[in-house]
Amino acid sequence: MDVLDRCTADLAFTLRWRKDGVLHTECLFAARVNFWRDLLPPGVREGLAAGPGTRGVRLSFAPGALLPPRAASQILRVPVGDFRGTLADGQAIVPRRGRFYPRGFLRGLPGVFPQNLIPFRCLEAGDEGLVADLNPPLAGIALELEAVVETLAEKAGERGGSAVDWTERLLEGPGMQARAGGAPTDFFTAEAFSRPDENDDALFYRRPRLVDHLDAFALAEVSRLYGRLLAPGGRVLDLMGSWSSHLPEGFPLAGLTVLGLNAQELAANPRADRRVLHDLNADPRLPFEAAAFDAVISTASFEYLVRPREVFAEVARVLRPGGLFVQVFSNRWFPPKAVRLWSELHEFERMGLVLEVFRDSGEYEGLETFSLRGRPRPAEDRYAGTIPHADPLYAVWGRKKAPGAAAREEGIRQ
């Protein structure tokens, strides 16, 4: 038994991959990994055991090396009557191109039962039925994996127990944010951006909520992300902001404008030097001049936008060429005001929705997605002991294209 078999470790996995010109980064924290019985991606254990003091390993996987290769046999044509999906309120689900649904919605497939939650992707949908892709979302994609040991502790003994398949956990979700075959995902239906509460947003937000909507760890990671992406000394717009803009302490800015719906919340923001009351759902036009900002940030707010494509076009207008637009969100929101589509999507599909809005505008380049999952919940959090993990973090960002970039791209396609 070598040193790893005598120890447990906390590992930080980082998975990177590209598809359709977008860079994706997925981070998963693996707590108390037991090298003696847990299942790890191939090469991770061997790499960490390569020599004394080895604390990290980087691996490259060709398509089909970490996952089974894409198989035509896993793409099935399903008659219209064999898809039976319903929402929580009993409303029938209409399958849409590019979207994911539980396999349990399908009938007549060997080994598939109604409780099966493994997702499949709808490649085509019409009056005669749909085409279901049962391949894993990352099948057929080259992957880069990094595993870093954060802590290593010797075990008192080995008493057996259950094994954790960390490869399965790492790959559960990533890939769902990418397009299928390069075609846009059909997110933009008439009902998708309706909400349970369609009353004036000013009524819902008239009471100030000077509270944090994410746990302390997630908020610290939001701050860390903004600190990594933003350039010091820039002019920043915090879109749909509140009493905190989640910027790193002391991060130098030329100016911070915060746009939101509650005057008391905006007044309590200590970093803001300009505060603007404005309802983007009532009027998606931004009350700013063109190229007024170097960066626009938005935290835990996308899910409330009923006209996101118009807002993203406006953000592009007020950004300077090369300016950054970052959308950050988690899995917590106010249900009455979130658009209906948001609650129907898998967490990784939500990144796909935001990414699709970026792409639909034609105004952004250098698109990236980022996810962070599995960190332990802060001990002082009110949900500690009930919810084991910190709030997950998801982000999508891009930069405004330089003048003429869209025309050049169109010329290349032609």
Mean pLDDT comparison of 52-66, 86-100, 145-159, 220-234, highest-scoring range: 220-234
Give the burial string for 210-243 (b: 16+ CB within 10 Å, else e).
eeebbbebbbbbbbebbeeebeeebbbbbbbbbb
Mean of the per-residue pLDDT values for the chain? 92
The pLDDT score that the predictor gives to residue 245 is 97
Mean pLDDT, residues 370-394:
92
pLDDT at 90: 78
pLDDT at position 168 is 96
Each domain of the chain, given as residue ranges in start order, spans 7-67+138-170, 72-133, 201-413
| Mean predicted confidence (pLDDT) in 232-241 | 98
Would you state the CATH architecture of domain 7-67+138-170?
Answer: Roll (3.10)
Query: Is it the case that residue 43 has pLDDT exceeding 80?
Result: yes
pLDDT at 412 over 60: no
Q: Are 371 and 178 in contact (CB under 8 A)?
A: no
pLDDT at 207: 81
pLDDT(18) > 80: yes
How does pLDDT run across 331-345, given as a tens digit for each residue?
988 889 999 999 999
Higher local confidence (pLDDT), 381 or 288: 288
Q: Residue 382 contacts by C-beta under 8 Å, 6 or more apart in sequence? A: none
**For residue 120, pLDDT beyond 70:** yes
Q: How far is CA 311 from CA 41, 282, 308, 361, in A?
A: 41, 11, 5, 10
Q: pLDDT band at residue 203, thresholds of 50, 70 and 90? A: confident
pLDDT more than 70, % of the chain: 97
State the pTM of this model.
0.94
Q: What is the pLDDT of residues 322-374, one digit of tens each?
A: 999 999 999 988 889 999 999 999 999 999 999 999 999 999 999 999 999 99
What 153-159 contacts at long range (C-beta under 8 Å, 24+ apart), as own/partner pairs, is 153/7, 153/8, 153/9, 154/6, 154/7, 155/6, 155/7, 155/8, 155/34, 158/5, 158/36
Question: Tens digits of per-residue pLDDT, 162-186?
Answer: 899 999 999 999 999 999 999 999 9
Give the pLDDT confidence of 297-318 residue by residue, as tens digits: 999 999 999 999 999 999 999 9
**pLDDT score, position 297:** 98
The answer, yes or no, to whether residue 62 has pLDDT greater than 50, is yes
pLDDT for 205 = 83
Torsion of the alpha carbons at 352, 354, 355 and 357, rounded to the nearest 10: 120
**pLDDT at residue number 385:** 83
Give the pLDDT confidence score for residue 89 in this predicted structure. 76
Alpha carbons 202 and 279: distance in angstroms, whole number = 8
Q: Which fold has domain 201-413?
A: Rossmann fold (3.40.50)
Instruction: State how far the Cα of 284 lies from the Cα of 305, in Å rounded to an integer.
Output: 9
Q: 405 pLDDT exceeds 70?
A: no
Give yes or no for residue 204 having a pLDDT over 60: yes
Closest CA to 144 of 8, 14, 317, 314: 14
Question: How much is the average pLDDT of 8-22?
Answer: 97
Cα dihedral 307→312→314→315 (10° resolution): 140
In this prediction, residue 414 has a pLDDT band, given cuts at 50, 70 and 90, of very low
Task: Determine the 3-state secondary structure of 5 from DSSP.
Answer: coil
How many angstroms separate the CA atoms of 225 and 395, rounded? Answer: 9
Neighbours of 162 (CB within 10 A): 7
Rounded to a whole number of angstroms, the distance between the first and last alpha carbons of the chain is 61
More confident residue, 80 or 76: 76
Report the pLDDT value the prediction gives residue 1, as an integer from 0 to 100. Answer: 45
Write down the pLDDT at residue 86. Answer: 85
Quote the pLDDT of residue 165: 96
State the pLDDT at residue 110: 82
Count Cβ atoms below 10 Å from residue 68 Cβ, excluding itself: 12
Question: In whole angstroms, what is the distance from residue 87 CA to residue 107 CA?
Answer: 17
Query: What is the mean pLDDT of the segment spanning 250-267?
Result: 96
